Amino acid sequence: GQQLNQSPQSMFIQEGEDVSMNCTSSSIFNTWLWYKQDPGEGPVLLIALYKAGELTSNGRLTAQFGITRKDSFLNISASIPSDVGIYFCAGQASGTYKYIFGTGTRLKVLA
């Protein structure tokens, strides 16, 4: 079945540093979504991408839809302590309703 490989699996960074994470797939996706999840809570949508090559920002967050449609990345600039959490990518293939989630990147920010 479809799999989304997300890397890195975890990151420890200093406050103020930039962060980059990515998702890759063996399949083509039509939509990429990026979520942040806090412990015991539901994932919160950060950015949605709909076209190959699309680059979208949301405050300090920037995400891009890869040209091959098989990957996406998320950058966080000038990280702050509240950025701590698990970041998930999710992809939706053509002709399907379901979104497949990546394995998650656990981010810890050291003040």
Partner 1 sequence: AAGVIQSPRHLIKEKRETATLKCYPIPRHDTVYWYQQGPGQDPQFLISFYEKMQSDKGSIPDRFSAQQFSDYHSELNMSSLELGDSALYFCASSLRGDSPLHFGNGTRLTVT
| Backbone dihedral angles phi then psi of residue 83, each to the nearest 5 degrees | -75, -10
Output 19 or 33, the one with its CB closest to partner 1: 33
Q: Return the residue of 5, 20, 27, 31 that touches partner 1, per CB under 8 A.
A: 31
Q: Which tokens is 6 given?
A: 């997300």
By CB under 8 A, tell whether 29 contacts partner 1.
Answer: no
Q: Return the residue of 73, 102, 107, 109 that touches partner 1, per CB under 8 A.
A: 102
Which spans of this chain sit near partner 1 (rule: CB under 8 A)?
Answer: 31, 33, 35, 40-45, 48, 88, 90, 92, 96-104
